[in-house]
Amino acid sequence: MTEIAEPHEPWWMTGVIYQIYPRSFSDSNADGIGDLRGIEQRLGYLESLGVDAIWLSPIFPSPMADFGYDVADYTGVDPLFGTLDDLDTLIAAVHARGMKLILDYVPNHSSSQHPWFLESRSSRNNPKRDWYIWRDPAPGGGVPNNWISDFGGSSWEWDEATGQYYLHAFLKEQPDLNWRNPEVRAAMIEVLRFWLDRGVDGFRMDVLWHIIKAQGLPDNPINPDYHYGMGQRDEVLQTNSTDQPEVHEIAAEMRRLADSYAGDRVLIGEIYLPTPKLMEYYGTAEAPEVQQPFNFQLIGFPWTAPGLAKLISEYDAAIPPFGWPNWVLGNHDRPRIADRVGEAQARIAAMLLLTLRGAPTVYYGDELGIGRVEIPPDRVQDPAELRQPGIGLNRDPVRTPMPWDGTPNAGFTSGEPWLPLNADWKTRNVAAQIDAPGSMLTLYRRLLALRRTHPALSLGDWRLSPCEGDVLAYERQHADDRLLIVLNLGARPQRVAAPAWAVGGTVMLSTLDSAPMLNGDTLTLHPNEGLIIAPKAA
């Protein structure tokens, strides 16, 4: 008999996070843009889906140059999304359902409309001048160094009135804060305290590895692998503009603050770095940093069984003894999983995400298998696409409204949605999938339910099984709870020898709604099939 996990592990280890892009989840006031009340109305759905926590992309007052990642007030709510009262109500409602709420914290840069920046740019003598990164032109004139914005063009913007440049790693409407200034650091730590006091359960921290730049702001090295089709940002390596040693002390301070609150508050760092560098953001056992340095490897990696086996083994082995892994298939910046690998393999990806060792984050709409959404040129919203068109940087296709049902605008809004819906919304929506046995949503719900009842899945060890060709197989085990996961990453049937302990076992779940084929010690997988197998009861 399987024992249920003891609830003493922090929720962020065993729990599943669900990312909401608030503009696109549910609109309660017919302006075509999702809002906090809309989210509150959908909490029943999220609870029944079986997720544990909700992360909201930014909901703070913002001119929306980068759709909220340009924050003009770190401790308020943009009227588009509602009020601070609405947020308090949402936090309480989420908690009443036994779930957690995570906010997005944007420490690297504010909006150029933030009062801090307005003061900073008002004169060279303003007390907040040094809150941002201002420099004179280079000796011969022109920008102070060769840093390139993530959205293309120089990272420097000239300010005519005060005769200096300011730094912006993203849009010029997103000036970088100067985290080497102790007043900035104190003010930004206060922001965390403000929300922790209000009861939020943690933060996803935007571009955490960017916040400290190398002293003296030296040029970045030229990228020897730059090639046509890459964004301008990649012309140089971000060696001096990101990932400086001093960031770790700041992350540790943030963690000390989070840990001073009851309830296992979580810090999740958005960090795009190779595994060894990523691991540094766990900190040390004595000075821990973020609990989850986001692991984006499944997003950028070719979808092959040997490749994934290597990636997962190496990542799992690199986790420090006091750390816990995490996994992500998609987010509001990267193409959706069903677009990348196709719908049949997106089912395998769902099983992989929810059965690996570590905390998974599910991106809204992936549980419906939403694929590529075409955005007509006259409806493009994303500044990344508008500034560097046509090279695949558009993030609008992954930010389209959540399709709830078959009513006009898929029940997302009674107004005009800010982005088009997925073309197949009439059939690909929550209402159509929720009771359909073979739907993606049913698969997600069943996987999430299995995670709750099997400590092997939520807490267990991970061991790669010998596998060949298109098959990826691994075991999860916690105490006497043991499961075998076998995934066919190809479109042909596969035969696999079951390990002795799984012979005669029971198929707990197949990604396909078909009869599993177990024959003695041989498993036959249908094309694109994944199985979770429990041993024969003792």
Positions annotated as catalytic residues are: 206, 270
Q: Does 170 bind ligand NOJ (CB under 6 A)?
A: yes
Q: Does 66 bind ligand NOJ (CB under 6 A)?
A: yes
Least distance to ligand NOJ from the beta carbon of 23, Å?
12
Q: Does 398 bind ligand NOJ (CB under 6 A)?
A: no
Least distance to ligand NOJ from the beta carbon of 238, Å?
13
* Structure-block tokens of residue 74: 């770190």
In terms of CB distance, is 23 or 265 closer to ligand NOJ?
Answer: 23
CB crowding 140-166: b at 16 or more within 10 Å, else e: eeebbbbbbbbbbbbbbbeeeebebbb
In terms of CB distance, is 27 or 270 closer to ligand NOJ?
Answer: 270
Q: Does 69 bind ligand NOJ (CB under 6 A)?
A: yes
Least distance to ligand NOJ from the beta carbon of 506, Å?
41
Q: In Å, what is the CA distance from 71 to each residue of 59, 74, 161, 286?
A: 9, 6, 23, 33
Give CA–CA dist 448/444, Å, rounded.
6
Q: How many residues bind ligand NOJ (CB under 6 A)?
A: 9
In terms of CB distance, is 107 or 360 closer to ligand NOJ?
Answer: 107
Cβ atoms of 337 and 349 within 8 Å: the answer is: yes
Least distance to ligand NOJ from the beta carbon of 37, Å?
24
CB-based closest residue to ligand NOJ: 69
In terms of CB distance, is 264 or 333 closer to ligand NOJ?
Answer: 333
Give CA–CA dist 172/148, Å, rounded.
12
Cβ atoms of 320 and 328 within 8 Å: the answer is: no
Q: Does 207 bind ligand NOJ (CB under 6 A)?
A: yes
In terms of CB distance, is 386 or 436 closer to ligand NOJ?
Answer: 386
306 burial class (0-12, 13-18, 19+ CB within 10 angstroms)? middle
* Structure-block tokens of residue 404: 């709830």
Beta-strand pair 164-167/156-159: antiparallel
Site map for ligand NOJ, 496-535, x if CB under 6 A? Answer: ----------------------------------------
| Order of strands across the sheet that contains 100-105 | 292-293, 266-269, 202-205, 100-105, 53-56, 17-20, 359-363, 326-328
Choice from 119, 130, 219, 333 touching ligand NOJ (CB under 6 A): 333
In terms of CB distance, is 69 or 327 closer to ligand NOJ?
Answer: 69
In terms of CB distance, is 171 or 484 closer to ligand NOJ?
Answer: 171
Q: In Å, what is the CA distance from 516 to each residue of 22, 215, 471?
A: 39, 60, 16
Window 461-490: residues binding ligand NOJ (CB under 6 A): none
Site map for ligand NOJ, 262-281, x if CB under 6 A? Answer: --------x-----------
| Look-up of token digits 């690996």 | 356
In terms of CB distance, is 106 or 473 closer to ligand NOJ?
Answer: 106
In terms of CB distance, is 106 or 349 closer to ligand NOJ?
Answer: 106
Least distance to ligand NOJ from the beta carbon of 108, Å?
7
Stated length of the chain? 538
Q: How many helical (H) and strand (E) elements, i.e. helices and strands, does the chain have?
A: 16, 19
Q: Does 243 bind ligand NOJ (CB under 6 A)?
A: no
Give CA–CA dist 495/380, Å, rounded.
46
In terms of CB distance, is 62 or 458 closer to ligand NOJ?
Answer: 62
Task: Please give the distance of CA 529 from its chain centroid, rounded to a whole number.
Answer: 26
Least distance to ligand NOJ from the beta carbon of 59, Å?
14
| Look-up of token digits 């190779």 | 274
Give CA–CA dist 211/361, Å, rounded.
24
Instruction: Report how far apart the first and last C-alpha atoms of the chain are (Å, whole number).
Output: 9
| Look-up of token digits 């990604």 | 511
| Look-up of token digits 């909490």 | 43
Window 334-353: residues binding ligand NOJ (CB under 6 A): none
Window 92-131: residues binding ligand NOJ (CB under 6 A): 106
3-class SS string, 158-214:
EECCCCEEEECCCCCCCCEECCCCHHHHHHHHHHHHHHHHCCCCEEEECCHHHCCCC
Choice from 27, 157, 201, 206 touching ligand NOJ (CB under 6 A): 206
Q: Does 134 bind ligand NOJ (CB under 6 A)?
A: no
Q: Does 385 bind ligand NOJ (CB under 6 A)?
A: no
Least distance to ligand NOJ from the beta carbon of 299, Å?
12
Cβ atoms of 348 and 381 within 8 Å: the answer is: no
Give CA–CA dist 153/310, Å, rounded.
36
Strands (E), 77-135: 100-105, 134-135
Beta-strand pair 53-56/100-105: parallel
Give CA–CA dist 273/208, Å, rounded.
11
Least distance to ligand NOJ from the beta carbon of 151, Å?
8
Least distance to ligand NOJ from the beta carbon of 11, Å?
24
Least distance to ligand NOJ from the beta carbon of 170, Å?
4
Give CA–CA dist 484/461, Å, rounded.
12
Q: Does 294 bind ligand NOJ (CB under 6 A)?
A: no
Q: Could you list the residues that contact ligand NOJ (CB under 6 A)?
A: 66, 69, 106, 170, 206-207, 270, 332-333
